[in-house]
Amino acid sequence: MSSDKKPTIGWIGTGVMGLSMCRHLIEAGYQAVVYNRTKEKALPLVEAGAQYAKSPADVASRADIIFTIVGYPADVREVYFGDQGIFSQVKEGAILIDMTTTSPTLAKEIAHRSRELGAAAIDAPVSGGDVGARNGALSIMAGGEQEAFDRVLPLFQLMGKKISLLGEAGAGQHTKMCNQIVISGTMIGVCESLLYARKTGLPLDKLIDIISGGAAGCWTLNNLAPRIVKGDYDPGFFVDHFIKDMGIALEEAAAMQLSLPGLALVHQLYVALQSQGGGSLGTQALIRALDVLNGGDQ
């Protein structure tokens, strides 16, 4: 890459998170080539100046640094290793950054194949939801080689506020598992607190305001509890995707012979919510599953 010219950015996956994240790069003056399985979801970026590609391979043939943020590990595998995947057309010297939350094992496979093709790979899942993505305030946890990380750090800084390289390939994904374990615990705590408060007749808005200023203060309480009070279950992060994340964490824990009973409980409650048709709702909809357990119908 020329040192006096901005690299061309490739972006694959323009959903709730990816759309805002890529927009920050375009607004900073980067040329972008984008692809999404549902083209309509990428059109706002095309209107902002991005070029639309016909496949992940097409993105790879035209971009110097490629970001991916898709749904599930199977989607990641197809995007990278498929017949029309990134690896079929990747440029030598390219940097591939998967920001999907996926398995550490898959992240290591992608890094190994990238090295074979003369490219570099970073696994860099994020936390902060739709609000963090829109505000460029995500936490970005990375795994990979220091040199590649240093080269893409200016791009990460357009999308996030807390950015750290935690170790070699797979370390970013392991860190995201730790993040999701914490979120599972705080989410059930917030929902149970609101159920208790509602049962006692407390004013919920005032409750959130006062306890968020003390030891109970957390991102979930500040950002998602108000949505619950309003009955707003639109997704900042889908229930389906959170179930996927928790499943990965439980599989990794089992492989290490590590028991995580709290995570397992919350995982099962979300599976119950999913079975009730709540998979496309935001994670704050967990309160619906708890309502059902308590004889409600929300």
Which residues are designated catalytic? 176
Q: What is the dihedral of CA 52, 159, 279, 257, to 10 degrees?
A: 120
35-57 b/e with 16+ CB inside 10 Å = b?
bbbeeebbbebeeeebbbbebbb
Q: In whole angstroms, what is the distance from residue 207 CA to residue 220 CA?
A: 14
Q: In whole angstroms, what is the distance from residue 227 CA to residue 240 CA?
A: 19
Neighbours of 130 (CB within 10 A): 18
Beta-bridge partner residues of 139: 127, 162
Q: In whole angstroms, what is the distance from residue 139 CA to residue 263 CA?
A: 21
Beta-bridge partner residues of 52: 34
Helix, strand or coil, per DSSP, at residue 211:
helix
Residue pair 184/248 in contact by the 8 Å Cβ criterion: no
